[in-house]
Amino acid sequence: MTGSTIQNPTDTLDRPLRDLRISVTDRCNFRCGYCMPREIFGKGYQFLRQDQLLSFEEITRLVRLFAGFGVRKLRLTGGEPLLRREITSLIEMLAGVDGIDDIAMTTNASLLTRERTQALLDAGLGRLNISLDALDPAVHARINEVDTPLDAVLDGIDNALGEGFSSVKINMVVQKGINEGEIIPMVERFRHSGAILRFIEFMDVGNHNQWSLDQVFTANEIIRLIDARYPVEPVEANYHGEVARRWRFRDGGGEVGVISSISQPFCRDCSRARLSAIGELYTCLFATAGHDFRDLLRSGASDAQIAQRIDSLWRARDDRYSEERLQGLGRPRQKGGSVKVEMSYIGG
């Protein structure tokens, strides 16, 4: 039995498996307070060793099996995916997998030189999402807690826009009291730029970012603020399950998106699985436990055995953490009641 002979499963809430996010490293050259705060991820923090990471061959084998279950879209993330050596080789290998028709990457863009950008495109990367939370260098430095100049990120964005990617999106996490003042400058910079700016509500991922509901600048607040300066109107979703709600500038200046996982969760359409850098499968961003595939891979399991495991895990999936959080009237609950996985470990 191979993955392709198993009928594509749906989970207990009738959701298919369509997207796979793959974390290729737990390391990062930034220390964003909402993701890898320096107090925890600073000196002395034990990052994974190279031999603990899935190899490119192991990732590709899993992707081939996932494609047999209906996965069409891949996103490479981390940590910072551009820190993984030879990442373009992985992209080439994944681009050759039958059924995979879309490979994207989420990056902080600080390492996105012109040569690197060209190599990623040539290898088969189709889309880039770049994280940028502020244009004011002082605010940027305060959020990312590194000395990397803002210009390195802005150059990376320019390089991405100069290549032929099918889409370049800029992701801005908005934290109340920290960077809501950057929303309008970001809108002004990226209107008419060819990049789509997307605002992400600050989420209670991981265990160290001191999240509280009153730090969330909500989707409605974001859109109200933008609309007062640059009037916008809603746009239909591109496809079923699109996580960002889309808004178009009435004057033809392009569009923005808002990812409102806190105030308007979208678990009902969530068709994403996540693979950690050490080969654990997570069926929700807020899960407390992953399911190990590295041992299976390294203990000589057959494709059929691995496919069976994917099938049974997806069929048993009942995750809807963000909806449950909302129903709890803002009191965050942790699925399973213990420590959640870190965002840098399984990727955004």
Smallest distance, ligand SAM to C-beta of residue 71, A: 19
Query: One symbol per residue from 81 to 120: x for binding ligand SF4 (CB under 6 A), - otherwise; what is it?
Result: ---------------------------x------------
Smallest distance, ligand SAM to C-beta of residue 67, A: 23
User: Is residue 77 within 8 Å of residue 26, measured between CB atoms?
Assistant: no
Taking the CA atoms of 102, 80, 321 and 225 in sequence, report the sign of the dihedral they define.
Answer: negative
User: Is residue 117 within 8 Å of residue 88, measured between CB atoms?
Assistant: no
311 binds, among ligand SAM, ligand SF4, none (CB under 5 to 8 A by kind): none
The interface region with ligand SF4, picked from 31-39, 48-56, 147-155, 185-193 by CB under 6 A, is: 31-39
The b/e string for 261-282 (b: 16+ C-beta within 10 A; e otherwise) is bbbebbbebbbbbbbbbbbbbb
Point out the residue whose Cβ comes nearest to ligand SAM.
348
Applying the rule CB under 6 A, the residues between 236 and 265 that interact with ligand SF4 are 261, 265
Helix, strand or coil for residue 171?
Answer: strand
Smallest distance, ligand SAM to C-beta of residue 109, A: 8
The interface region with ligand SF4, picked from 51-59, 205-213, 227-235, 319-327 by CB under 6 A, is: 319-327
Q: Residue written as tokens 């870190």?
A: 342
> What is the rounded distance in angstroms from the CA atom of residue 17 to the CA atom of residue 76?
17
User: Is 11 near ligand SF4 (CB under 6 A)?
Assistant: no
Residue type, 29: N
User: Is 286 near ligand SF4 (CB under 6 A)?
Assistant: yes
Applying the rule CB under 6 A, the residues between 173 and 192 that interact with ligand SF4 are none
Measured from the CB atom, the residue of 67 and 173 that comes closer to ligand SAM is 173
205 binds, among ligand SAM, ligand SF4, none (CB under 5 to 8 A by kind): ligand SAM
Applying the rule CB under 6 A, the residues between 34 and 63 that interact with ligand SF4 are 35-36
- DSSP class per residue in 23-83: E--S--S---TTTS-HHHHSTT--PPPGGGSPPHHHHHHHHHHHHTTT--EEEEESS-GGG
Measured from the CB atom, the residue of 88 and 171 that comes closer to ligand SAM is 171
Q: Which of 88, 129, 179, 344 binds ligand SF4 (CB under 6 A)?
A: 344
The token pair at 230 is 């640059």
Smallest distance, ligand SF4 to C-beta of residue 59, A: 18
> What is the rounded distance in angstroms from the CA atom of residue 45 to the CA atom of residue 345?
13
Residue 196 forms beta bridges with which residues? 169
171 binds, among ligand SAM, ligand SF4, none (CB under 5 to 8 A by kind): ligand SAM
How many CB atoms within 10 Å of residue 286? 24
The interface region with ligand SF4, picked from 25-33, 53-61, 84-92, 227-235 by CB under 6 A, is: 25-33
Sheet of strand 127-131, all strands in order from the earlier edge strand to the far edge:
232-235, 245-249, 255-259, 196-201, 167-174, 127-131, 102-107, 73-77, 19-23, 272-275, 280-282, 291-292
Smallest distance, ligand SAM to C-beta of residue 267, A: 16
The token pair at 56 is 């490119």
DSSP alpha helix (H) spans, the chain: 38-41, 56-67, 87-95, 114-123, 137-144, 150-162, 183-190, 219-229, 294-298, 303-316, 321-327, 343-346
User: Is 32 near ligand SF4 (CB under 6 A)?
Assistant: yes
Smallest distance, ligand SAM to C-beta of residue 213, A: 13
Q: Give the binding site for ligand SAM (CB under 6 A).
A: 28, 34-35, 77-78, 80, 106-108, 131, 171, 173, 200, 202-203, 205, 209, 343-344, 347-348
Measured from the CB atom, the residue of 36 and 277 that comes closer to ligand SF4 is 36
How many CB atoms within 10 Å of residue 182? 20
Residue type, 157: I
- Interface residues with ligand SF4 (CB under 6 A) are 28, 30-32, 35-36, 78-80, 108, 131, 261, 265-267, 270, 284-286, 319-322, 344
